[in-house]
Amino acid sequence: MKTFEPFAAGNMQLHNRIVMPPMCMYSADNSGRANDFHFTHYTARALGGAGLIIMEATGVVPNGRITDNDLGLWDDAQAEGLGRIVDACHGYGAKMAIQLGHAGRKSETAGDRIDAPSALAYSEKSRVPHALEKGEIKAIAAAFAEAAGRADRAGFDAVEIHGAHGYLISEFLSGLANKRQDEYGGSTQNRARFLREVLEAVRGAWPAQKPILLRVSAEDYLPGGMTPGEMGEIVRLVRPLIDVLHVSTGGVASAPIRPYPGYQVEAAAYLKKACDIPVIAVGLISEPDMAEEILNSGRADLVALGRELLRNPQWPLLTARRAGVEIPFPAQYRRAFL
């Protein structure tokens, strides 16, 4: 099965093509530090056979978290608990990435201020954000780089920059949220400037041999919003700075989305071809036959199973067993898979 073939990006060697995508657990306290829940949650998926685990959205500054119960990596002390998880997951054969992000105008943290490219609230119930000044934009890009350095020291194999789902980078990219009149707004190239600056800063702090992933929303599902074609232009602008593209959709504004199994795969396939880059496909993928079709058709290089891995941490082991594929099983569990 293609699902269980190895895959390499940079010096990261995966033993299969199954990805656990980042999913917020909202289980930290206000310190942003990982705890026993995070340790159990992630190591269970490593033990279950996932090839790559991408840890949940982790704020690079305090008000860059989605909520006050999200992980953070703006302080050296936060790296210690993350490193403990990385070491344990490595022991079970998984490679580890962490998604670094800034929630922008969708932040629900308790602080006095949330930030965005423009002073436009996400919804009628949301706070009006502060429109970032140029110096503040540069400072956030530097915070991404500092967090990446901490992730490296914690032992992560890759970092993923969160440019999707209507959070800060996604807000800069989409004309629905970015109404700036300076060099960060207007044209596609200008709206991609912040993303490029973040990636350049991260590249400077992250080992050259370790891969950088970028998650994007390829479609806003609204007039005047992002389309796969425009996202292709953006990805080509930053292609030298990234190794793998993780393709999602939506999130910058409320839109009529009708999800179905594999509903984002076509966007991933388009960007893979248009930008000549390995891609991760995601979006209600749960069945082995679907994963196999996506991979064997060449529409994606890796498949991410989010909700399915929440329901069934041992999906990789069970899938291999049912298909008669020989893979390494945890010694303690092997008798259950004979």
Which pair of tokens denotes residue 95? 């490679």
Which residue bears the tokens 């990219």?
173
Q: Which domains does the chain have, with CATH numbers?
A: 2-336 (3.20.20.70)
For residue 83, the model assigns a pLDDT of 98
Share of the chain above pLDDT 90, in %: 94
pLDDT tens digits for range 188-235? 999 999 999 999 999 999 999 999 999 999 999 999 999 999 999 999
Share of the chain above pLDDT 70, in %: 100
pLDDT tens digits for range 39-79? 999 999 999 999 999 999 999 999 999 999 999 999 999 99
Among positive and negative, which fits the CA dihedral 164, 167, 8, 291?
A: negative
Which pair of tokens denotes residue 22? 């980042």
Chain-centroid distance, C-alpha 336? 33
pLDDT confidence tier of residue 313, bands split at 50, 70 and 90:
very high
SS3 per-residue string spanning the chain: CHHHCCEEECCEEECCCEEECCCCCCCCCCCCCCCHHHHHHHHHHHHCCCCEEEEEEEECCHHHCCCCCCCECCCHHHHHHHHHHHHHHHHCCCEEEEEEECCHHHCCCCCCCCEECCCCCCCCCCCCCEECCHHHHHHHHHHHHHHHHHHHHCCCCEEEEEECCCCHHHHHHCCCCCCCCCCCCCCHHHHCHHHHHHHHHHHHHCCCCCCEEEEEECCCCCCCCCCHHHHHHHHHHHHHHCCEEEEECCCCCCCCCCCCCCCCHHHHHHHHHHHCCCEEEECCCCCHHHHHHHHHCCCCCEEECHHHHHHCCCHHHHHHHHHCCCCCCCCCCHHHCC
For residue 209, is it left (φ>0), alpha (ψ between -120 and 50) or beta? alpha
| Cα–Cα distances in angstroms (integers) from residue 219 to residues 59, 216, 232, 242, 251, in the given order | 24, 9, 11, 20, 9
For residue 231, the model assigns a pLDDT of 98
User: Rounded to an integer, what distance in angstroms lies between the CA atom of residue 168 and that of residue 244?
Assistant: 20
Predicted model pTM: 0.96
CA atoms within 13 A on the CB side of 328: 14
pLDDT tens digits for range 93-149? 999 999 999 999 999 999 889 999 999 999 999 999 999 999 999 999 999 999 999
For residue 216, the model assigns a pLDDT of 98
